[in-house]
Each structure stands twice: as C-alpha cells, then as structure tokens.
Amino acid sequence: MENTINWSELSFGYMKTDYNVRCYYRNGRWGELEVSSSETVSIHMSATCLHYGQEAFEGLKAFRGKDGRIRVFRMDENAKRLQSSARGIMMAEFPVEKFEEAVCKAVRLNERFIPPYGSGASLYIRPLLVGMGALIGVRPADEYMFLVFVTPVGPYFKTGFRPAPVCMMRAFDRAAPNGTGTYKVGGNYAASLTAGNKAQENGYVAVLYLDPKEKLYLDECGPANFFAIRNNTYITPASNSILPSITNKSLTQLAADMGLKVERRPVPVSELGTFEEAAECGTAAVITPISRIDDLDENRSYIYSKDGKPGPTCEKLYNKLVAIQTGDEPDPYGWVKIIE
C-alpha cells in the first residue's frame, strides 16, 4: 500500500483504511472497545441522530516525525471538547481515558496509512458520537455509539500555507446566538453549506461569519477560527457562538511565549481595516493566511497580502506549531502524545 499512495498529492478527502474502533453505550454504561473492518454502521431508522441531530464529532491528526515516531496532538483537549458537545445536546459523555485509548488503537491498527515525514500530509482522525436509540418523541436517546476512523489527508484548503481570499455575507448565519455554535455538532456545518458553496463558486475558500445577533462583530470562518495580527498583538474573537478551536488555543499560547500580547474579545467589523495580518486556523486548516476579505454587502475589500506570501507572524506561528506537532522541536507544553 505504501508504494501506491502519492503522499504529496493527497487531497483532504476520505480514503479507505484497514480498521476503525467502536464502543456502545447501553443500559447506562459504556462497553468495551471493539475493532471493526467495516466501513458501514447499522442504524435504526428512528435513531435520534437521524431525526433530532444527536450527533457530535471531533478532528485531530497523527504525524510521523523525522525520527519515525508517531505523534498525536492534544487529543485530551479533543476528548474534553467532545464531552462538552455531548452535554450541549444531551448525549452520554465518553470518558477521556477511553477516548485516548480508542484513538491510539485506531492509529496503531492503521499505521501503514500514516504519511511519511516531510510529505506535507498527515493521518486525520475522526471520532464520532451518535444517538442510536430508536425514538419518535423529541428526547435524548438511551443508546449511543462512539466510533473512531482514520484517513490520510493533504491540506484542507488547496492553497495550503498560502494566502487565500474569504468573503462576508450577512444573509447567512452559522449558528444562533444561544444555540449550538460552541459545540462541534453536524447541524452547525449543515447550516454553513449554502453560504460556503456560494463562496467557493466565486473563488473564496471560506465565509467569515459575523455575529448572528447584530452583524457587528466577527465570529468565525465556518470550518476554522479567525485571528488577526496588529501592533504585535494576536487578536481573536470571543462570542457565545464560536467553536473553541484547539489550534487557536495552542496558537494563543505560542503567541504569548513569542512576546505577543493576546486579546480574545469581541472584534468589531470596523477593525478589519486596521489589521496587518489575518488568518483562519483549525485542526484541518492548521493556519491558512487570508489574502483579502471581501465584504460582499458593503462592496468593500480588506487586503492583507499583496505579494501572495504569508505575513511574518503567521509564518512564525505556523512553523512553530508544525515543528512541535512533528517532533522537530521540543514540546514544553506536553501537547504531544507519542504512540509506541
């Protein structure tokens, strides 16, 4: 198999691997981890995940280092975020330790699909939690399934670590002000599909959403958090409808340790013209610098890259984060788990 995959040409898409890991919640408790080679799941037609949106997921990556060792980045944070999502839509919480065990098992079982060091690719890990109980009334299920599958991937955006344009469209919201925006649930992504498709048809990689209540503040970029650089300050929006990105959380720590001031606060649209650099960040995207933001309603553009190159702070943050993830630099934060 290793000889048939062109690692450097991988897209961010699904590729069949050997095994996935599953676990079922029945009679008030989680069972043991099970290994499966099937790509399909048997679900009752009345399962709550199909009718009432009881579904949450995570995304994380495994990397092969120059030393050949396999590293997974901050999976404890993914486990805790999945628990937060489960609480938000009333699903059974999957234990952190069991989450980490399942992820490690899935990575080990599919080790031959981990891209080699230096290929620019990684092994994407997708944990999934769904309501399996058969119900017609709107209430939480009594049975759940947790599943982890993996697939080798290239960059999320075709541009990779190169500046790309995004747009703003006030006719669309990603999440309601007090809804599920802070949880990683499928409904948020379904809500972003129409706007995202319109953006891509017009040459943009993503939509920068504004706050759903007043349309005065920046929210996030749909599949990623937003941040900007100004006057040696890392600025990222705070709101009750933004998914807390683990990548963004890591970058704020790195930025602070590099001597930048960090501000997580409501960011008004009026500040867009004052930023020196802008970017979106997330597990899949890592950091994607923004070349410009086109406000399609106001017929106005904000330019952040005129030469097609990332800004210096984005580049420094990107290089530092990737170096820690791949083991090229020490991990003083304890973020990386080496899978033996």
- For 80-139, write each residue's pLDDT tens digit: 999 999 999 999 999 999 999 999 999 999 999 999 999 989 999 999 999 999 999 999
* 139 plus 189 within the same structural domain: no
Q: Which amino acid is at 143?
A: E
* 178 plus 279 within the same structural domain: yes
Residue 291 maps to which CATH number?
Answer: 3.20.10.10
- 320 occurs within a structural domain: yes
What is the average per-residue pLDDT within 311-337?
A: 97
* 190 plus 313 within the same structural domain: yes
* 98 plus 34 within the same structural domain: yes
* 168 plus 46 within the same structural domain: no
- 2 occurs within a structural domain: no
* 142 plus 174 within the same structural domain: no
The answer to whether residues 219 and 211 touch, using CB atoms and an 8 Å cutoff, is: yes
* 298 plus 191 within the same structural domain: yes
The pLDDT value recorded for residue 1 is 46
- CA 99 vs CA 83, 182, 189, 214: distances in Å: 10, 20, 23, 38
- 301 occurs within a structural domain: yes
Residues of the domain holding 269: 164-326
Tell me, yes or no, if 316 is annotated catalytic: no
Angle 39-325-235 from CA coordinates, rounded to 5°: 105
Q: Report how far residue 77's alpha carbon sits from residue 73's, in angstroms, rounded to the nearest whole number.
A: 9
Q: Final residue of a domain: which of 93, 120, 153?
A: 153
Q: Final residue of a domain: which of 106, 124, 153?
A: 153
Give strand ranges (E) for 2-138: 20-26, 29-30, 34-36, 55-57, 60-64, 70-73, 122-131
* 149 plus 168 within the same structural domain: no
The answer to whether residues 226 and 218 touch, using CB atoms and an 8 Å cutoff, is: yes
At 30, list the tokens: 């989680």
Which residues, in sequence order, are bridge partners of residue 72?
62, 337
Active-site residue among 184, 213, 215, 337? 184
pLDDT digits (tens, 9 = 90+) for 33-84: 999 999 999 999 999 999 999 999 999 999 999 999 999 999 999 999 999 9
Which residues, in sequence order, are bridge partners of residue 337?
72
- 99 occurs within a structural domain: yes
Place 4 in a pLDDT band, splitting at 50, 70 and 90. Answer: confident
* 131 plus 234 within the same structural domain: no
- 24 occurs within a structural domain: yes
Q: Final residue of a domain: which of 153, 177, 210?
A: 153
pLDDT digits (tens, 9 = 90+) for 203-261: 999 999 999 999 999 999 978 999 999 999 999 999 999 999 999 999 999 999 999 99
Average pLDDT, the chain: 95
- 335 occurs within a structural domain: no
Q: Residue 46 half-sphere exposure, CB side, CA atoms within 13 Å? A: 10
Residue 103 maps to which CATH number?
Answer: 3.30.470.10
The model carries a pTM of: 0.95
Helix residue ranges, H only, 166-305: 186-201, 246-257
Query: In terms of Cα–Cα distance, which of 197, 210, 204 is closest to 171?
Result: 210
* 11 plus 85 within the same structural domain: yes
* 88 plus 205 within the same structural domain: no
pLDDT digits (tens, 9 = 90+) for 130-157: 999 999 999 999 999 999 999 999 887 7
Q: Residue 136 half-sphere exposure, CB side, CA atoms within 13 Å? A: 0
- How many structural domains compose the chain? 2
Q: pLDDT at residue 3 above 60?
A: no
